[in-house]
A and B are shown apart, each in its own frame.
Chain A
Amino acid sequence: MAAILDVLFIGRFFPKVMAQYDESSQKLTIKLVYYGPALSGKTTNLMRLHDILTPDMKGELMIMETADDRTLFFDLLPLGFRAPSGLLIKFKVYTVPGQVIHDSTRKAVLSRSDGVVFVADSQRTQSVNNGESFENLAANAARVGLDFQQLPLVVQFNKRDLPAILSEQEIMARWEKAPWPVLFSSALTGEGIIETFKALLAAVYLTCDRLYRLQSDHGLDCDSFIAQTLGGSLSSAKG
């Protein structure tokens, strides 16, 4: 009965609650999603994160792909560390399948997410796909009950290493009115991957702190939240 009421109340009267807090096992699970058009480099982002990050706990990257390396359901990278209070901060970083036909899966993966990286393809030819995918993100967010205006979101223009790409000026001109941070990356080389992830973590920290008082109850400020997620060596090197 209580569970049913929870579902009803959460679903109906409150915005989808950020992160899953399990008091009994002292665990806060944060769901992050890499969204974007097909072949924009979402899985490569996750692979680089898996390579580079060194948090206390790092699971293996689970990739569910088809024979031609297209994401079938999603990819999953689990990460985690313990806050000074002993709370386990667990991240589940997902990618969605970019292909248009997998919209139901995209919707399911996006559901209950706490932060989104929108991975756009910088190539000039991909502008339309980027636009359509971003609209799809907004539409699916609405369908799964996410407040798109409140959702921590970072926009990443990937594939900066390729020729025939939009210049940073062109991209910034298009996105200057948008409220989201825009970053540039080359997932193949790893450039900009951590910066993107850090920008997302900063935005996610704000909402998590507001809901679960990470600072006051768990002694976790934003900098250490980011530093611990990235891992010791990395955080000291890059601040």
Chain B
Amino acid sequence: MYDFQSGGDFERDLNLDELLKGIDKSRLISALNVLLDTTVGVVDDTGASVIGDNSSKTVDRVPLHGELEPVGFLQTRTAVPSERLSAAADLMQLILRCNARYLLASDIHLQTQRDDFEELQRRNVALQASEARYKKLSESLEIRVKEQVKTIEKAHLKLYRNEKQASVGRLAAGVAHEINNPLGFIRSNVATAASYLESFYEFNALIDNGASSKDLRKVWEERELSLLLDDFKDLMKESLEGLDRIAKIVIALKGFSRIDQTETERADIDTIVRQICQVAESQWQQKAKLVLELSSETPIQCQSAQLGQVVYGLLGNAVDAIETNGIIRIRTAVRNGAVVLEVQDNGRGIPETVLPHVFEPFFTTKEVGQGTGLGLTVCHDIVKEHGGSIDIVSQIGKGTRVTVNLPVHNAIQNPKES
């Protein structure tokens, strides 16, 4: 049987059954019956009945040709003039031929469709394989990229931490200077005071030896012991002041060096600013005047050492921006529920093209080795951790103002107080 679903090989020889596919056999046979005026039957090349009545004996028979060979026979029960019989066979062959054309066309159509589809599937499989290969490649690429990114992030983190440590180191250098100064004059004062003591020991020996009060008075005046005594008092007072200064620096430094602290405490920004200025004074001494206008006086829950680093960083930037005769103003205030810290300089300013990038990690305009490009990044991160914001306004040649806003009731709450 002809398979219309899957089609056949268009080259195969079609049998009569296939050639009659789709043709109304009863109409065909009744037409033939009428035309030939007898009972007509059609058998295939093996003699099997295909259409009509082939049960009883037949008289006339004429072959039906397919492509080349007979595919069947037209037979009649009574005698029919041969020209009429062959005309009927011809008519039927025309019908079969038309059908053959259709069958061949549909066969080759189906075959090419199937071939094309198989080809598409093969290509699809090949494409999927290649896609899988690329996917695998891209996955391994992703992993490698991730590893690289991890390595870089690690390096960045290290540099970032180094930046925090380095600021402490830079500070330490300044602090050494700050401490050396009072240490110098305290030492000199104490040495002078010690030398004064000799005169008083000698005077004491005179008393022990029973010198008269007149003699004693004379020696007292000759040696100007009253002046020495006054000076001694001054020396001690000055030394104590120096020691106090050192003590303050040490306290400030202690606070500032605790940059790894995680717990928060209540501290006010004014104190932090004062402490930082105390230990960092040597940085601007030569080229700028520092003006403090501190009026926040509001303690906030914060990591004070971290905020100290912010102040120190901003102050350092301000000093760097100044060539000479500069004025650095640090203002604090409380505005709209936030502690505001402003560091303003009248230095060279930041170019417009640079400004959008100043908080980006590793962005620096300084010479290689001069800056890490992390200073403002660290400041920015610390302020963010405190739930605050940091903004920079700058004008070339006029100076720069950095404003830090820290909410009084910020995200960092001391667990003990909350």
Contact = CB atoms under 8 A, between A and B. Distances in A.
- Ranked nearest first, the 7 interchain pairs of A and B with the lowest CB-CB distance are A104-B112, A78-B68, A78-B67, A59-B68, A59-B67, A57-B68, A80-B68
Contacts of A80: 68-69
B67 A74 contact: no
Contact of B105 (A73, A90, A92): A73
A62 B107 CA distance: 15
Interface hub of B10, B67, B97, B105 (most chain A Cβ within 10 A): B67
Contact of B10 (A58, A78, A88, A108): A108
A166 to B, nearest CB: 33
A104 B104 contact: no
Contact of B108 (A59, A62, A74, A92): A74
B24 interface: no
B121 to A, nearest CB: 14
A68 interface: no
Interface string B99-114: 0110011001101100
Contact of A104 (B69, B101, B115): B115
Nearest to B115: A104
B9 to A, nearest CB: 9
A31 B12 CA distance: 11
B104 A76 contact: yes
A135 to B, nearest CB: 19
Interface of B: 10-11, 65, 67-69, 97, 100-101, 104-105, 108-109, 111-112, 115-116
A79 B105 CA distance: 20
Contacts of A64: 101, 104-105
A67 B209 CA distance: 153
B115 A108 contact: yes
B208 to A, nearest CB: 131
A88 B104 CA distance: 23
A104 B105 contact: no
Interface residues of A, number: 23
Given A60-B97, A88-B69, A108-B115, 10 more contacts: A57-B69, A59-B67, A76-B104, A78-B67, A90-B68, A92-B67, A104-B116, A105-B108, A107-B115, A112-B11
Interface string A68-104: 0000111010111000000010101000000000001
A125 B3 CA distance: 45
A109 interface: yes
Nearest to B102: A64
A87 to B, nearest CB: 13
A111 B101 CA distance: 20
A90 B68 CA distance: 8
7 contacts: A59-B65, A78-B67, A78-B68, A79-B68, A90-B68, A104-B112, A108-B10
Nearest to B94: A60
Interface in A211-230: none
Contacts of B100: 62
Interface in A23-80: 31, 57-60, 62, 64, 72-74, 76, 78-80
Contacts of B68: 57-59, 78-80, 90
Contacts of A73: 104-105, 108-109
Given A78-B67, A78-B68, A108 B101 contact: no
Contacts of A112: 11
Contacts of B10: 108
Contact of A62 (B65, B97, B109): B97
A108 B108 contact: yes
Interface hub of B11, B97, B108 (most chain A Cβ within 10 A): B11
A3 to B, nearest CB: 13
Contacts of A79: 68
Nearest to A104: B112
A44 to B, nearest CB: 19
B197 to A, nearest CB: 116
A112 B69 CA distance: 22
Contact of B11 (A31, A58, A88): A31
Contacts of B105: 64, 72-73
B115 to A, nearest CB: 6
A90 B13 CA distance: 11
Nearest to B93: A60
A213 to B, nearest CB: 23
A88 B49 CA distance: 26
Contacts of A92: 11, 67
B106 to A, nearest CB: 10
A164 to B, nearest CB: 35
Interface hub of A72, A76, A108 (most chain B Cβ within 10 A): A108
Contacts of A104: 112, 115-116
Contacts of A107: 112, 115
A20 B187 CA distance: 122
A62 B116 contact: no
A114 to B, nearest CB: 12
A14 to B, nearest CB: 19
